[in-house]
A and B are shown apart, each in its own frame.
Chain A
Amino acid sequence: MARYVAGRLLIAVPLLIVITFAVFALIHLAPGTPERALLGARQSSPETIAAIREKWNLDEPFLFQYVLWLKAVVTGDIGRSIQSGEAVTAAIGRRIGLTIFLGLYATLIALVVGIPLGMWAALRRGSRTDRAVVGVSVLGVSAPTFAVGLLLLYVFGVVLDWFPTFGSGEGFWNRAYHLTLPALALALALLALIVKITRAAMIDELDKDYVAFARSRGLSRRRIMSRYVLRNSLIPVVTVTGLIVVGLFGGAVLIEVTFGLPGLGTLLVDSVLTRDIPVVQALVLLTAIFVIVVNLGLDVLYTVIDPRIRFGSAES
């Protein structure tokens, strides 16, 4: 297993090089000269411009600039924010906790509610409850997180006044309380998809011969469900969860802006709107590494759920 993981990490290296190159190119892609992109809207004398060109090696050949930039990044120096002058790593460190909290909270809601709901609908296939669950999940898949978030904010924050409409809370429980509405909004699309996939996978499994066989051998329904059917139907659910955890990042941006939460999403939008290129670069790099790690983690998880899947053939 260690060998497999090492191999996968090795494959990730060229991918990281491609991604870091794209991130690096952002400075040069932005309209205007690179030093303008790095200075933002600030007033600048020829001396500052010269200093910026010196600092970022803008007079070197393009590829060499990239190598120098990469070297700095590897040692943890991704630059300073144009807006605040603060080291980018510090700005990210201050906000990353909230985004992780929000993401985990939403994933938890989606899994804890979605899997049982999908199973329940599958066991009552064709019934009215089944059709209701399917219908609501169609709505959930198409509903954009920020619009749902706003409606939740209005109904549960303004009209009913059950949840706070502002702030992100101190300490674990207070934070959980403040983040409940955002997490619910974020979880909805994920939840709908998990219900759909779980239901389809369960229906597939329930029709298989081994279920009929296990039943005829007199195994308890509970044992059949938990030991065999659920386990076999979880593979597609895990695949989707992986895809969505990645997609959740995008949703988190919208939700953080909707609820005015100081997480990485609002940091990204603020820095994109103010063209704070070093911060944007750092956030894109962080996301890329996160995506690679999540995909690797999932491939390992497959083999834990289903030992028939060997390392190395996990993509089938």
Chain B
Amino acid sequence: MAEALELRRSRETKRRRITLMVALSLVFLVVLVVFAAFGTAITPNDHEEQRLFISDTPPSAEFWAGTDQLGRDIFSRTIIGARPALVGAVAVSVGAFTIATVLGLVSGYLGGAVDAGVMRWADLMLALPGLLIAIVVVGVFGGGFWVAVLVLILLFAAPDTRIVRSAVLEQRPLPYIEAARTLGVSKPRVMFGHVLPNILPIIFAYVVLDFAFALVALAGLSFLGLGIEPGAADWGRMLAENKGILFTNPWAAVLPALLIILTAASMNLVGDWMYDRFSLRQ
């Protein structure tokens, strides 16, 4: 028995300990947050200034990642691009989980017909090819950053609802719920005052895991010309606009591509680590 406990404890500490990869990911994300927060104060050059006489040049001492077809500084534009990337990812995952938390709590706690209805809806949404729906709906409504964010929130809400619901179902049989019910606490208060605080850490971990998917989905829509307006300093847009100059200044497209991949991977690693931490605590 003591041995088993010992084994468990060592496993827990091992899993909770922060690994080098997670630490690097965290540092990388913090740098991005600084980019997003201070933007133009950090960039070496004005990211919008057009210098048509030096358009489409490879990296130089003045322009570290070269210039695009309009002579705009790629390095500065990539820094500015951190803002729509992070703001979009956070808006989509927080928005989706806000809806999912309400639906998941009600569905998981009340059960019955409400639960069945919500779950059929979630099943239907999961069976649909999400990205295609997003392309069509965003396109039909004329595109734009916030239209894309809104549509993605609605698409992400379904799988997130299932996650919250299963977390609620784990809490339901626990003694504190029964205690609260015996004391005559109202249903909404049990749900939002008692169950919710107990599942918040795990929801938080899932929100971080969702960041990566939201980032990639939004960048994809922008890449197709359906998200942020054309010409904006956004990684997805930069990829689309600069893939034609791959032979003259590859960095114009490769740098934003690398940043999308690295950011998504960092968010996933940090999310996984947080998930391990918080699921052990319960």
Interface residues of A (CB under 8 A from B): 26, 29-31, 135, 138-139, 141-144, 146-148, 150-151, 153-154, 157-158, 165, 246-247, 249-251, 253-254, 257-258, 268-269, 272-273, 275, 277, 280, 284, 287, 291, 295
Chain A residues, Cβ within 8 Å of B246: 150, 153-154, 157-158, 165
User: Do A246 and B129 touch across chains, with their CB atoms under 8 A apart?
Assistant: yes
State the 10 A-B residue pairs at the shortest beta-carbon distance, nearest first.
Answer: A250-B131, A272-B139, A147-B257, A142-B264, A144-B216, A142-B268, A147-B260, A150-B257, A143-B261, A142-B265
**Partner among B136, B243, B265 whose Cβ is within 8 Å of the Cβ of A143:** B265
Contacting residues of chain B (225-282) with chain A, CB-CB under 8 angstroms: 225-226, 239-240, 243, 246-247, 250, 253-254, 256-258, 260-261, 264-265, 267-269, 272
Within the complex, the shortest CB–CB distance from B206 to chain A, in Å, comes to 15
Q: Name the interface residues of B113-140: CB closer than 8 Å to any CB of A.
A: 127-132, 135-136, 139-140
27 CB contacts below 8 A, A to B, read A26-B136, A26-B140, A31-B142, A139-B261, A142-B264, A144-B219, A147-B256, A147-B261, A150-B239, A151-B257, A151-B258, A151-B261, A154-B246, A154-B253, A154-B254, A158-B246, A158-B250, A250-B129, A250-B131, A250-B135, A251-B131, A253-B135, A257-B240, A258-B223, A258-B243, A273-B224, A273-B226
Write the chain A residue with the least CB distance to B137. Answer: A29
Using CB atoms, name the residue of chain A closest to B123: A315
With both beta carbons as reference points, the residue of chain B lying nearest to A147 in the complex is identified as B257
Q: How many angstroms from the CA of A138 to the CA of B270 in the assembled complex?
A: 12
Q: Which residues of A contact B254 (CB under 8 A)?
A: 150-151, 154
Bound complex: CA of A253 vs CA of B131, how far in Å? 9
B141 on interface, CB distance cutoff 8 Å: yes
**Chain A nearest Cβ from B262, distance in angstroms:** 9
With a cutoff of 8 Å between Cβ atoms, the chain A residues found around residue B239 in the complex are 146-147, 150
In the complex, B220 has a CB within 8 A of chain A: yes
Q: B224 contacts A253, CB within 8 Å? A: yes
B90 at the interface (CB under 8 A from A): no
A273 and B225 within 8 A (CB): yes
Supplied contacts A26-B140, A249-B131, 14 more A-B pairs, CB within 8 Å: A135-B21, A138-B269, A142-B212, A142-B265, A144-B260, A144-B261, A144-B264, A147-B261, A150-B246, A154-B246, A257-B240, A268-B135, A269-B225, A291-B128
A154 surroundings in chain B (CB, below 8 A): 246, 250, 253-254
Q: Which residues of A contact B243 (CB under 8 A)?
A: 150, 153, 258
- The interface residues of chain B lying within 8 Å CB-to-CB of A165 are 246
Residues of the B chain whose Cβ atoms lie less than 8 Å from the Cβ of A151 = 254, 257-258, 261
Please, how many angstroms separate the alpha-carbon atoms of A139 and B262 in the complex? 9
**B side interface size, CB within 8 A:** 40
Cα A147 to Cα B239 in complex, Å, equals: 8
From B223, which residue of chain A is reached at the shortest CB distance? A146
Tell me whether A249 and B129 are in contact in the complex, defined as CB-CB below 8 angstroms, given that A144-B219, A150-B243 are known contacts.
yes
Known: A31-B141, A253-B135. A291 touches B129 (CB 8 A): yes
A165 to B257: give the CA distance in the assembly, Å: 17
Is the pair B216, A272 in contact by a Cβ cutoff of 8 Å? no
Closest Cβ of chain B to A122, distance in Å, is 19
**Closest A residue to B217 using CB positions:** A144
CB of A142 within 8 A of CB of B132, answer no
In the complex, are the beta carbons of A254 and B224 less than 8 A apart? yes
Using Cβ atoms and an 8 Å threshold, which residues of chain A touch B141?
Answer: 29-31
Question: Which residues from B are CB-within-8-Å of A254?
Answer: 131, 220, 223-224
| Given contacts A150-B253, A153-B246, A247-B129, A138 and B223 within 8 Å (CB-CB) | no
Task: Give the shortest distance, in Å, between A194 (CB) and chain B (any CB).
Answer: 17
Q: A144-B216, A247-B129 are in contact. Are A139 and B265 (CB under 8 A)?
A: yes
- Contact residues in B for A291 (Cβ distance below 8 Å): 127-129
In the bound complex, what is the Cα–Cα distance between A249 and B131 (angstroms)?
9
Assess whether A275 is in contact with B140, with CB atoms less than 8 Å apart: yes
Minimum CB–CB distance for B221 against chain A, Å: 10
Residues B129 and A142 in contact, CB atoms below 8 Å apart: no
The chain A residue sitting closest to B242, CB to CB, is A150
B199 to A: closest C-beta gap in Å: 25
